[in-house]
Structures are given as structure tokens and as C-alpha cells.
Structure 1
């Protein structure tokens, strides 16, 4: 796991081709806004979270965020333990995000 600043994160997701963005917040938080291109996998739903993680391609790079950085750090650690080699945590999470956002 690597912690990235907003600037590092934005540069990486713009320049990397093999990138997946994971939002590990709740559905309610997601509905308030999310980073474009993200996939919601709520870490507070343990079985659904693990089922979704087991479907992921381990060759890709995963950029993971939550509201403030705690849950995404935990998610990165879980992925790392499962053999994912390229996980990145957004420092400060969505609360500090100043880039583009979308809403459902």
C-alpha cells in the first residue's frame, strides 16, 4: 500500500492505463458524490466486500478512497494480504478531495 496526496492521486489516475478506483464508503455517502470512474464496494458490508474483492484482477492498480482515509487504509491492507501488489490510498479521503466529482 502506498499513501498518495491528492496531487499524486490525480496525476496517477490520469496517466495510468491499468487503473481501478474503489470507493469503500456506504451507499448513502456514495449518493452524496464520488470520484468519476469509481466503483462502490462498501467495506461495512463484509461479505459483499470480500465477494467483490475476490472478483478483482490482481494485475491492476487499485486506487482506494473513503471519507477520510481510515476505511480505505483498511481496505488496502486487506487487498495487500490477498496478494494485490499495487494498492494506493487517498490521503484525507473524499472529504479533502478537490478534483472532479459526480453524483447519482
Structure 2
């Protein structure tokens, strides 16, 4: 797991052809907007979160975020324990996000 600043996280994501963006916030938080093309798996699902994450492709690089960076850091740690080699935590989370924002339909 690596904690990356907004600048480093975005730069690395934009240069990564094997990337997946993962949003681990609650559905209520996601309703306020999300980073475009992100997959949403709520970390508060507990075992459900682990089950859903375990179905993801472990060969991909995951760029993980939450509201402020705490839950996404936990998610990255869990992912590392599950065998994901590359999980990158967005420090400051969505609350400090300066990039594009998408809204679910």
C-alpha cells in the first residue's frame, strides 16, 4: 500500500494502463459525486466488502479513495492482506479532490 498525494495519485493513475479506481464510501457519500469510472464497494459492508473485493482482478493496480483518506487506507491494507500487490490510497480523499466529478444516474 502507498499513500499518495492528490497530485501523485492523479499523475500515476493517468499514466497507468492497468488501473482501476475504487470508491469505498457509503452510498450516501457517492450520491454527492464520485471520481469518473470508479467502482463502488462500501467498506462498511464488512465481510461483504471483503467478498466483493476478493472477486476483483488481483493483477490490476487499484487507486482507492474515500471521503478523507482514512477508510481508503484501511481498504488498501485489507486488499494487501487479500493478495493485491498494488493498492494506492488517495490522501485527503474525495473531500480534497480537484479533478472531474461524475454523478450516478
Pairwise TM-score range, normalised by the shorter structure: over 0.9
DSSP-derived class of the 1:74 partner? helix
**Match in the other structure for 2:12:** 12
CA RMSD of aligned residues (A): 0.8
- Deviations along 1:60-91, whole A, 9 cap, x unmatched? 10000000011000000000111111010000
Give TM-score, length-normalised by structure 2. Answer: 0.95
Q: Name the residue aligned to 1:64.
A: 64
- Structure 1 residue runs of 5 or longer lacking an equivalent are none
Distance 1:2 1:63 in 2: 10
Structure 2 unaligned blocks of 5 or more: none
Shift of 1:26: 0.3
- Give me the whole-angstrom Cα distance separating, in 2, the residues matched to 1:87 and 1:44: 18
Residue 39 (1) aligns with residue 39 (2): yes
Q: 1:7 offset after TM fit, Å? A: 0.8
How far the C-alpha of 1:12 sits from its partner, in A, is 1.4
Runs of 4+ in 1 over 3 A off after TM superposition: none
What is the CA-CA distance between 1:48 and the residue it aligns to? 2.2
Give the paired residue count.
Answer: 104
